[in-house]
Every structure is written in C-alpha cells, then in structure tokens.
Amino acid sequence: MSASSCSLSSPYPPAARLPIAHRSPAKTLTIAPVFTSRRSVFLSISTLLPFSFLTGSSHASLSDFVELPDSGGVKALDLRIGTGDVPINGDQIAIHYYGRLAAKQGWRFDSTYDHKDEAGDPVPFVFTLGSGKVISGIEAAVKSMRVGGVRRVVIPPSQGYQNTTQEPIPPNFFDRQRLFTTIFNPTRLGNGEGSTLGTLVFDIELVSLRHPQT
C-alpha cells in the first residue's frame, strides 16, 4: 500500500504532508462518509482506501507502513506529524478515531465523530494510557505520537479485541454485535481464520493529553 493509493485529500498545511511515492494503484474500496468541516480538518476518509494489502495481494503491500517497536506487530503510517507533547503511561489521553474491520472489507464500525455532545459537537474518546482498558494496538499507536498528529494503524488480531469489554466499544448495539460476532465467530475461528478475522484499521488523531496530578 502506498501513500498515493490512500488518496488522502484532507486540507493539511503542505509542510505537514509526508512525501508521496507514486505507484501503480491497488484494488481499492470506496469509503465515503459525510464530513463536517471539523472532520475535514482531521482526515478526509472519503477516499479510495485499499484493503488488498491485508489479504496478501501481490500488487499491494505495507511497505509505506512502519512496524512500531514493542507493539506486537502494529503497523503505522503517519498522515500528519504532531507538534505537541508525547504521552507517557498514566496520562489522560483524548483521541478522535475512525475504526474499521478488515474482514468486512473496511466496514467502519465506530467513529468518535458519531458521538455528539448536547451542542452537537463530536466528543473525543478519553482513556488513561497504560490502564489496559483499551485494545493494545491503540495504546501502542499513541505512545509515539505527538499531540496534533494523525496516524493510520493496522492492528493485528493479537493486539486488537481479546474480549467484548475492551474499549473502544461501539455504542450502537447492531454495530457492536456485528463487530464481535465477526471477530469471535467460533466456526471461522475453528477453520483457522483467527489470523484475519480481528484485523483492525484505525485512523487516530491525538487531540490532547493531561499529565496526572502530582
């Protein structure tokens, strides 16, 4: 998979963009949610996002992604480099995200932009880094980000959902049911599909962090 095949079109300042390598296009999947202006500032996902690299296609790869150290195989591609602080364990972290399930052709099972407050503004997902309450892949992703950064991560099943209580949990019952019945499908797990069922793709923006009071 190449940066060009993601066809990212969000209006980041030019200095914040990564160099783009032009390659032959991979087989792609169109994902086109409706964006508010705030969403567009975060990340335009109304793009062509190839998922063939997750299925072993010969003409797509994760060569543009970097495996994060001590992450258990989480691969990351920085879409925007942040300029703020780097979080440490114990910090309270706020992120925006889009979460997709590779086994469902990139189906978006959750997004913080669907979680609104009384004023209609999207509510970030907040957690304590190192608490173990969120899936390991998200913790690994944000540990080396800076506030303001945007990162796309491919999370293998071993670093994704291990049970139905790990966060983030889709608030919609039907999305939650579809997600977990796919990941924990006993028949498909018995057929040896466990290495692919739980692969996740997250686009994460590190919005803010707060150090614990001393």
Is the per-residue pLDDT at 205 higher than 50?
yes
pLDDT level of residue 214 (50, 70, 90 thresholds)? low
**Percent of the chain clearing pLDDT 70 (strictly above):** 71
pLDDT of residue 193: 86
Provide the residue range defining the domain that includes 126: 65-210
- Give dist(CA 132, CA 97) in Å, integer: 18
Identify whether the C-beta of residue 7 lies closer than 8 Å to the C-beta of residue 67: no
* Residue with the larger pLDDT of the pair 184 and 18: 184
> Which residues neighbour 207 within 8 Å (Cβ) at sequence distance 6 or greater?
94, 95, 96, 124, 147
Is the per-residue pLDDT at 3 higher than 80?
no
- For residue 11, being part of any structural domain is answered with no
Task: Determine the Cα angle at 144 with ends 15 and 146, to 5°.
Answer: 45
CA–centroid distance for 25 within its chain: 22
Give the CA radius of gyration of the chain: 17
pLDDT level of residue 16 (50, 70, 90 thresholds)? very low
> Which residues neighbour 203 within 8 Å (Cβ) at sequence distance 6 or greater?
43, 45, 79, 97, 98, 150, 151, 152
- Give dist(CA 57, CA 8) in Å, integer: 21
pLDDT digits (tens, 9 = 90+) for 42-53: 444 334 344 443
- For residue 141, being part of any structural domain is answered with yes
- For residue 97, being part of any structural domain is answered with yes
pLDDT of residue 8: 37
- For residue 1, being part of any structural domain is answered with no
- For residue 54, being part of any structural domain is answered with no
- Give dist(CA 32, CA 45) in Å, integer: 7
Overall number of domains in the chain: 1
pLDDT digits (tens, 9 = 90+) for 49-98: 444 434 344 333 567 899 999 999 999 999 999 999 999 999 999 999 99
pLDDT digits (tens, 9 = 90+) for 102-151: 988 899 999 999 999 989 899 999 999 999 999 999 999 999 999 999 99
- For residue 3, being part of any structural domain is answered with no
pLDDT level of residue 208 (50, 70, 90 thresholds)? very high
- For residue 5, being part of any structural domain is answered with no
- Give dist(CA 207, CA 204) in Å, integer: 9
CATH number, position 198? 3.10.50.40
- For residue 193, being part of any structural domain is answered with yes
